[in-house]
């Protein structure tokens, strides 16, 4: 049996997905019951639901290759043994060509996409095994919930899957700088300059739009989801301000995979140059795109086709980032979120260069508001590591410089 994920938007605006039998289009009972009762009813996000179905699909592919039906096995009390748990772990390491490939009818094919010579990241393997452990425990309990010995076997099976997950290393032991340095930022905006020979985009209006995308990311430090949610109505050009608003399950957003604003609502100031760039794009370039007048999202698809004029999708946004990253080795690992880290580094430098800077507590409140974090959440510390690390390195070098200037006769063995 081949399965696929069917995505749709309810009348309420809620994004939902189901795992269906691709041969007949019918929903698969137990995977979707699990999705509804264990994921959706816990108010988890659409991406969590999609991730759950993706993990279950990996398990179903595993069972298909063994010519077995998992429901029949669990109904008879035949659970996975140690060797099978190892085999599931190995299967979860397989990289697929694409986790989800959209077709014209809105379905995402999950089968026949196997790459035999490559492995997924440890994080992906971890997520897959976690979901499979949760699903198999839940499924086994649907058929065997009375026998105490059977319950112990189910618990052992779940524990066996979870213990086979890759070890999550402590990422805080060695901070990896995610922001861009000055050289990278200068190169980035030279590449994005509309008249630049380095600019990888052909259409003039696309060049203007993509440069503006990076300008908003750089100057305001917003997330990608927040950027894709910006509407023209959110601007107040009279005072050069932009409202970042949460609109989960927005019925007016035609995107099935709706970009989400994960942070708090807030009002951000814009300098004149940025506000003028945005205003010109709205009045000139965006206005000329067919169908763009049917919505007021700031960034729309320029490419001709059925999505022209519609709000820029998450995949479209990622494609822009990837295209820019391919222009230079300095930008090879570019992520839109890196500019959020760069914004925080610049904010710290700005505070540090003031003659009478605000107190540490006031700075954290300011940063948390501008980033949309809950006050006192501690999130700001994550984004401030680069600046703290740079100051620590500077202090360490100054300390070493002082140590070198030792009194005559010291440090020479006399």
Give the tens place of pLDDT for each residue, 47-84: 888 889 999 999 998 999 999 999 999 999 999 999 99
**Phi, psi angles (nearest 5°) of residue 77:** 80, 15
Residue 192 Cα to chain centre, angstroms: 23
- Please report the pLDDT score of residue 99 as a whole number: 45
Residues with Cβ within 8 Å of residue 259, at least 6 apart in sequence: 224, 225, 226, 227, 228, 229, 314, 317
Bridge partners, residue 9, by sequence:
15
- The answer to whether the CB of 110 falls within 8 A of the CB of 19 is no
249/272: higher pLDDT: 272
- Please report the pLDDT score of residue 327 as a whole number: 96
Among 166, 56, 61, 60, smallest CA distance to 120 is for 166
CA distance 121 to 333: 16
Instruction: Tell me the C-alpha to C-alpha distance, in Å, between residue 386 and each of 104, 224, 343.
Output: 44, 21, 11
- The answer to whether the CB of 19 falls within 8 A of the CB of 35 is yes
Tokens of 238: 């009279």
Residues with Cβ within 8 Å of residue 321, at least 6 apart in sequence: 334, 335, 336
Domain residue extents for the chain: 3-168, 175-414
Residues with Cβ within 8 Å of residue 275, at least 6 apart in sequence: 235, 237, 240
Instruction: Tell me the C-alpha to C-alpha distance, in Å, between residue 282 and each of 28, 75, 206, 254, 299.
Output: 45, 60, 13, 20, 9
Q: pLDDT at residue 411 above 70? A: no
243/114: higher pLDDT: 243
Q: pLDDT at residue 106 above 50? A: no
Residues with Cβ within 8 Å of residue 240, at least 6 apart in sequence: 269, 270, 271, 272, 275
Instruction: Identify the three-state secondary structure at position 188.
Output: helix
Is residue 34 exposed (0-12), middle (13-18) or buried (19+ Cβ within 10 Å)?
buried
Average pLDDT for residues 76-97, to the nearest whole number?
A: 91
pTM, rounded to two decimals: 0.70
Average pLDDT for residues 247-258, to the nearest whole number?
A: 87
Which of these ranges, 21-35, 167-181, 295-309, 378-392, has the smallest mean pLDDT?
Answer: 167-181
pLDDT tens profile 163-211: 999 987 655 444 455 789 999 999 999 999 999 999 999 999 999 999 9
Residue 391 Cα to chain centre, angstroms: 30
Which helix or strand (DSSP H or E) is residue 269 part of?
Answer: strand 266-269
Q: Give the CA dihedral 305, 311, 313, 316, nearest 10 degrees.
A: 60
Mode of pairing for the β-strands spanning 114-119 and 266-269: unpaired
CATH fold for the domain made of 175-414:
hpI Integrase; Chain A (1.10.443)
């Amino acid at each position: 049996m081949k399965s696929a994920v069917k995505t749709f938007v309810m009348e309420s605006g809620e994004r939902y997905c189901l795992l269906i039998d691709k041969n007949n289009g019918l929903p698969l009972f137990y995977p979707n019951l699990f999705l509804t009762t264990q994921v959706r009813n816990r108010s988890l996000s659409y991406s969590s639901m999609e991730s759950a179905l993706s993990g279950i699909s990996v398990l179903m592919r595993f069972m298909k290759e063994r010519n077995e039906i998992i429901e029949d096995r669990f109904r008879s009390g035949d659970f996975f043994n140690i060797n099978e748990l190892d085999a599931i772990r190995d299967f979860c390491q397989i990289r697929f060509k694409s986790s989800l490939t959209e077709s014209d009818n809105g379905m995402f094919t999950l089968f026949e996409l196997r790459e035999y010579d490559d492995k997924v990241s440890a994080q992906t393997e971890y997520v897959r095994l976690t979901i499979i452990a949760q699903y198999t425990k839940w499924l086994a309990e649907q058929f065997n919930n009375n026998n105490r010995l059977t319950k112990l076997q189910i618990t052992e099976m779940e524990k066996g899957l979870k213990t086979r997950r890759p070890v999550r290393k402590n990422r805080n032991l060695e901070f990896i700088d995610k922001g861009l340095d000055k050289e990278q930022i200068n190169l980035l905006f030279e590449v994005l300059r509309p008249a630049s020979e380095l600019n990888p985009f052909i259409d003039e209006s696309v060049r203007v739009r993509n440069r503006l995308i990076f300008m908003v990311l750089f100057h305001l430090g917003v997330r990608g989801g927040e950027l894709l949610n910006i509407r023209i109505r959110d601007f107040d050009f009279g005072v050069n301000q932009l409202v970042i608003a949460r609109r989960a399950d927005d019925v007016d957003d035609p995107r099935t995979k709706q970009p989400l604003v994960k942070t708090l609502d807030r009002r951000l100031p814009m300098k004149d140059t940025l506000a003028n760039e945005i205003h010109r794009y709205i009045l000139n370039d965006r206005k000329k795109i067919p169908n763009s007048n049917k919505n007021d999202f700031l960034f729309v698809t320029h490419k001709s086709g059925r999505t022209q004029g519609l709000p820029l999708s998450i995949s479209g946004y990622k494609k822009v980032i990837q295209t820019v990253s391919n222009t230079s080795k300095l930008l090879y690992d570019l992520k839109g979120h890196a500019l959020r880290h760069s914004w925080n580094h610049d904010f710290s430098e700005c505070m540090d260069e003031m003659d009478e800077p605000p107190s540490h507590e006031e700075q954290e409140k300011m940063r948390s508001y501008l980033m949309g974090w809950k006050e006192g959440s501690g999130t700001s510390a994550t984004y401030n590591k680069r600046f703290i690390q740079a100051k620590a390195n500077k202090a360490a070098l100054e300390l070493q410089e002082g140590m070198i200037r030792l009194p005559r006769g010291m440090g020479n063995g006399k």
